[in-house]
Structures are given as C-alpha cells and as structure tokens.
C-alpha cells in the first residue's frame, strides 16, 4: 500500500514533538511491513534541510513554512501525488490539511488535541482568531463523515463538543520506547532533580516552572531543575534564567539526543509539565517507564496521562503545584510508591499495539 502523510513537521524539524514521534513510529512500522510511505511537511526555519530525503525508509518532502505548507499541500498533491497513492493520513495540528477538498482517496485524520485557547498563546491577532474559527467551525464541517483518530479520551470528548460524531472518533493511545538492557533504569541523581523535557512554547508555560522553582528551594535547598528541549520561547527563557538569582540551580540543556533523554528520564526524581493542556503526553509515560513520577496541572490530556495519587499528582493552582512538588520530593515512601506504580502504568503502552489498532482502521476504510 502507498500511504501519503500530511504533517506540518518531520522528526528532524527543530520544533518536532510528541506528534511527530507518534506518526513516525507508525510510519517506520508500515515501511517494515512492506508499505511505501511518503511524508509531506514544512521546511525548518532554523536549519536548511533537504527538500527531499529518505530516512528510516520514509520518503520526506519539505515545502513551505508552518503556514504556507497548507497551501502547498493541494498544489503538490494535484501536480505530483495524484494517482500514486492508495491512502491519505491527514494530521490536524490546530488546522488540518483539508484533504477532503482535493482528494477522494480513503483517508484518516489524526488529532492530538483541540487547541482552543492555545491559539491565543501562540499566535498574534488576527491569526489567533482565524485558527480558533477554523478549528471550531470549518474543521468539523469539512471533515463530516471522515474517520478520526484521537490520541486520548480527552481529545475525543473535545472533538464531540465541536461537532464530530462519537462513532467517527476512535481513541488510539501512543506507545513509548521502553527501557531495555542497553538503556535501562539508572540510579537517581543525588540531589532532588526536577525535569521538564519537551518543546519550549508559550502554552507549555516553562517560565512558570522557573518562577516557582524559588519556592521549591525554600523547602528543598539542594534541589535542581533541568530543562531539556527548544522552541520559540527558549531564547527568552534562557535570558530569564541567566539573569535570575538561581541560575546555578537551573540547567537549560537545549535539544538532547535519545540516549541523553533516556538518562534524564531515568535519573530525575520528578517530571514536571506546567502546560495549559495537552492531547496526552508521551513524555510523561516515558518518564513513568523509568520509574519517574509526574506533576502537572489538572488540565486536559495531562489529567488523563497522570493518575492522581497513583503515578503522580495534579495541581489546581500555582500554589498547589508547589505543594505537590514538595510533597513528592520530601516524602520518600510516597515517592517510591508512586514510582513503582508509574512503571506498572507505563507497561501497557507500546508502539506495536498502537500500530495494529491504526492499521485495522486503515484496512476497514479501504474495503
């Protein structure tokens, strides 16, 4: 089968995140199963990647930026892709590629989360209003009758709220790359260490984590904060940290390799995600697999990936988050208990199961 994927980024993109991990883990397995997979995506604004290349057996075609890629998609399809593919995967990241308007091929739409107010964190007006309007009204209208895969129950509920039929939305959780003999669980850092790992975007609110860290230090003077990742807000965040009183306690690492990521997830005492909302959180589950519990606000997605009181804690306010972090750092027996629970929780997620469920949907749509 020849599969065409429309996604706004690929794994080599500077802003690649959990969404890219999700689709590329599937694509690699499809290639291994004998399918031909092509990904059409945007160029990277920070590094000039090749317009066409192949890695992990996947054909990559890059055109346009984060906005114009949506205009290039139908042009490329009609000029180069038409009659060459059997199935389309259309990935919605705030807005979809509107493939029903230019292709009659069977298709599946992936939605990681409904962005909602995130548009107003990330984009200036009028772009924020346009994005909000398109996602709330245009997207459900154009995709009426199109099968949708949601990454969590939270995302499915949000899709139903904006007009999708419940019967057309299937929840398929992401897998994770689990520890093995070569990248197993390591001994924790000697100092209480908090970890944020992910993109540094406005809606992720990593600056809030930096701000409350001074309050964490009042009860845990040996504590350290490690921030791994990059994004549009990274430069500003680095400046805040370097000018701050606790710059020697906060380490901003930038993008990290897979081996570095595994080491950080394994050795940190606690994973913290202060985001306003997620579709799920692969990083939370990966941290859990290494015995690292998580703390986040009680927001969509994260309130589903974190089992409150079992694999981590969910906070209702900034003050409450400080209290939740302090509890885990200072209560060793509680920390060890939820660490064990987190490992057990993470065991049920694997990419093979995810791929099987998605492929079953694809096969049913091609009948």
User: How far is Cα 136 from Cα 131, in angstroms, rounded to an integer?
Assistant: 9
Q: Are 123 and 164 in contact (CB under 8 A)?
A: no
Residue 181 in any domain: the answer is no
Residue 188 in any domain: the answer is no
Q: What is the mean pLDDT of residues 226-245?
A: 94
- Give yes or no: residues 318 and 358 share one domain: no
Residue 247 in any domain: the answer is yes
- What are the structure tokens assigned to 307, written together? 């089992």
- Give yes or no: residues 354 and 234 share one domain: no
Dump pLDDT digits (tens) for 157-212. Answer: 999 999 999 999 999 999 998 887 555 678 999 999 999 999 999 999 999 999 99
CATH code, 322: 3.40.50.2000
SS3 33: coil
- Give yes or no: residues 162 and 120 share one domain: yes
Its pTM stands at 0.92
- What are the structure tokens assigned to 99, written together? 């493939």
- Give yes or no: residues 152 and 238 share one domain: no
- Give yes or no: residues 11 and 50 share one domain: yes
Number of domains in the chain: 2
Q: Identify the pLDDT of residue 346.
A: 97
Range of the domain at 248: 193-346
Q: Identify the pLDDT of residue 186.
A: 85
- Give yes or no: residues 339 and 356 share one domain: no
Residue 6 in any domain: the answer is yes
- Give yes or no: residues 10 and 157 share one domain: yes
Residue 97, φ and ψ in degrees, nearest 5: -95, 0
- Of the pLDDT bands very low, low, confident and very high (cuts 50, 70, 90), residue 73 is very high
Where b means 16+ CB within 10 Å and e means fewer, 319-354 reads eebbebbbebbeeeeebeebbebbbebbeebbbeeb
Q: Give the Cβ contact number of residue 163 at 10 Å.
A: 13
Dump pLDDT digits (tens) for 330-342. Answer: 999 999 999 999 9
- Of the pLDDT bands very low, low, confident and very high (cuts 50, 70, 90), residue 15 is confident
- Give yes or no: residues 238 and 332 share one domain: yes
- Give yes or no: residues 217 and 146 share one domain: no
- Give yes or no: residues 206 and 229 share one domain: yes
User: How far is Cα 315 from Cα 303, in angstroms, rounded to an integer?
Assistant: 10
Residue 182 in any domain: the answer is no
């Amino acid at each position: 089968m020849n599969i065409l994927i429309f996604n706004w980024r690929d794994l080599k993109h500077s802003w690649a995140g959990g969404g890219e991990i999700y689709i590329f883990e599937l694509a690699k397995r499809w290639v291994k199963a004998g399918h031909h997979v092509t990904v059409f995506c945007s160029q990277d604004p920070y590094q000039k990647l090749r317009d066409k290349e192949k890695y992990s057996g996947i054909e990559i075609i890059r055109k346009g930026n984060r906005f114009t890629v949506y205009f290039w998609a139908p042009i490329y399809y009609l000029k180069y892709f038409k009659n060459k593919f059997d199935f389309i995967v259309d990935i919605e990241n705030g807005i979809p590629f509107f493939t029903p308007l230019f292709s009659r091929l069977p298709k599946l739409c992936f939605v990681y989360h409904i962005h909602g107010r995130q548009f107003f964190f990330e984009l200036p007006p009028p772009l924020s209003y346009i994005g909000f309007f398109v996602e709330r009204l245009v997207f459900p209208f154009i995709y009426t009758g199109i099968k949708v895969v949601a990454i969590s129950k939270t995302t499915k509920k949000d899709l139903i709220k904006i007009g999708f039929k419940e019967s057309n939305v299937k929840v398929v959780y992401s897998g994770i790359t689990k520890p093995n003999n070569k990248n197993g669980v390591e001994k924790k850092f000697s100092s209480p260490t908090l970890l944020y790992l992910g993109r540094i975007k406005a809606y992720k609110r990593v600056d809030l984590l930096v701000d409350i860290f001074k309050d964490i230090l009042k009860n845990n003077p040996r504590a350290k904060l490690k921030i791994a990742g990059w994004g549009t807000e990274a430069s500003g965040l680095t400046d805040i940290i370097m000018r701050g009183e606790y710059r020697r306690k906060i380490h901003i690492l930038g993008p990290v390799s897979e081996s570095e990521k595994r080491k950080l997830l394994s050795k940190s005492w606690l994973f913290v995600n202060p985001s306003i909302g997620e579709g799920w959180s692969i990083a939370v589950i990966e941290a859990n697999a290494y015995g690292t519990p998580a703390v986040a606000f009680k927001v969509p997605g994260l309130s589903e990936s974190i089992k409150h009181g079992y694999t981590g804690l969910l906070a209702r306010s900034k003050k409450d988050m400080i209290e939740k972090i302090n509890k885990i750092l200072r209560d060793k027996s509680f920390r060890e208990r939820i660490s064990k629970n987190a490992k057990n929780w993470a065991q049920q997620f694997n990419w093979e199961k995810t791929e099987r469920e998605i492929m079953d949907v694809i096969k049913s749509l091609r009948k």
